[in-house]
Amino acid sequence: MSEPAYRLLDCGDRALTVELGRAVDPVINAQVVALDEAIRGAGRPGLLETVPTYRSLLVLYDPDRLPRADLVALIATHWPPPVTRAGAVRRWRVPVLYGGEHGADLASLAAAAGLSEAEVIGLHAGCDYRVHMIGFAPGFAYLGGLDPRIHASRRTDPRPRIPAGSVSIGGNQTGVSPPLELPSGWQLIGQTPARSYDPARAEPFLFAAGDLIRFEPIGHAAFDAMSAAALAGETVATMERIDG
């Protein structure tokens, strides 16, 4: 019998990491998300929490109710996971005010890429991005699918604090910050009024691993109006379901 295409790593005595690969790859990430859904869907007592990442799944469990051997068997039962989810993929349309005080690095990033600011905005807002994982801070979305023409190295002088809701580029990734002021070395290109994290909501996290995001440029007036609406509890990012 062939070995499973994953590696199990103990994280103390109450968590197990299922490592599916060594690279940041959309196929591997799709397997992570599918395995996450399959394990959570099993509804096993003692399964406390799952945390999908780029290439692995962290499973937290209560060994008194779900022994490690049973968890290992549960993972094996759901491998390989189905990765086709027709009609179940969520795509978020996220408004962004690009440049100026809302995206302090847009001009320098554009100049380094030999592009105009408008061209960078067009490239950044011109495709769907896959949410690979939520991490670093509550609601911070790491997105894959950035056009190579606007890949940009992280700053050599990280900022101790960036604006809440910043949209930024770091290497070959782009990201959406939560409505918190955070330290960051990523290149700031815009800001969204959408709140990717809000503890007052029934579901605090707006995005989830496996979702798609498309950015929509907006002007100052729309940004101000949407920011007020978001503070009042409205979800100013819109969601649609597309075939997966």
Give pLDDT, residue 243: 76
Q: Last residue of some domain: 19, 42, 77?
A: 77
User: Does 65 lie in the same domain as 14?
Assistant: yes
User: Does 183 lie in the same domain as 207?
Assistant: yes
For the beta carbon of residue 100, count every other beta carbon within 10 angstroms: 13
| Sheet of 15-19, strand order | 7-10, 15-19, 56-61, 47-52
Please state, in angstroms and rounded to a whole number, the distance separating the CA atoms of residues 173 and 142: 7
Q: Last residue of some domain: 32, 57, 77?
A: 77
pLDDT at 65 over 90: yes
Residue with tokens 């996450």: 36
104 inside domain? yes
pLDDT at 84 over 70: no
User: Does 233 lie in the same domain as 192?
Assistant: yes
User: Does 131 lie in the same domain as 58?
Assistant: no
User: Does 191 lie in the same domain as 70?
Assistant: no
Tokens of 32: 């992570």
- Average pLDDT estimate for 43-57: 95
Please state the domain count of the chain. 2
Q: Last residue of some domain: 77, 99, 122?
A: 77
pLDDT at 15 over 50: yes
204 inside domain? yes
Please state, in angstroms and rounded to a whole number, the distance separating the CA atoms of residues 140 and 208: 10
pLDDT at 81 over 90: no
User: Does 94 lie in the same domain as 60?
Assistant: no
201 inside domain? yes
pLDDT at 149 over 50: yes
pLDDT at 140 over 50: yes
User: Does 193 lie in the same domain as 94?
Assistant: yes
Give pLDDT, residue 112: 97
Give pLDDT, residue 86: 44
94 is in which domain, residue-wise?
89-242
- Compute the radius of gyration of the chain from its Cα atoms: 19
- Average pLDDT estimate for 168-187: 96
83 inside domain? no
For position 125, which CATH number holds? 2.40.100.10
Q: Are strands 89-98 and 212-217 parallel, antiparallel or unpaired?
A: parallel
pLDDT at 24 over 50: yes
57 and 51 in contact (C-beta within 8 Å)?
Answer: yes
1 inside domain? no
Give pLDDT, residue 26: 87
- Average pLDDT estimate for 32-52: 95
- Average pLDDT estimate for 7-30: 93
User: Does 71 lie in the same domain as 94?
Assistant: no
Of 183 and 81, which is predicted with more confidence?
183
100 inside domain? yes
84 inside domain? no
For the beta carbon of residue 157, count every other beta carbon within 10 angstroms: 5
Residues 183-227: tens digit of each pLDDT: 999 999 999 999 999 999 999 999 999 999 999 999 999 999 999
pTM: 0.87
For the beta carbon of residue 188, count every other beta carbon within 10 angstroms: 23
Residue with tokens 């349309």: 93
User: Does 61 lie in the same domain as 120?
Assistant: no
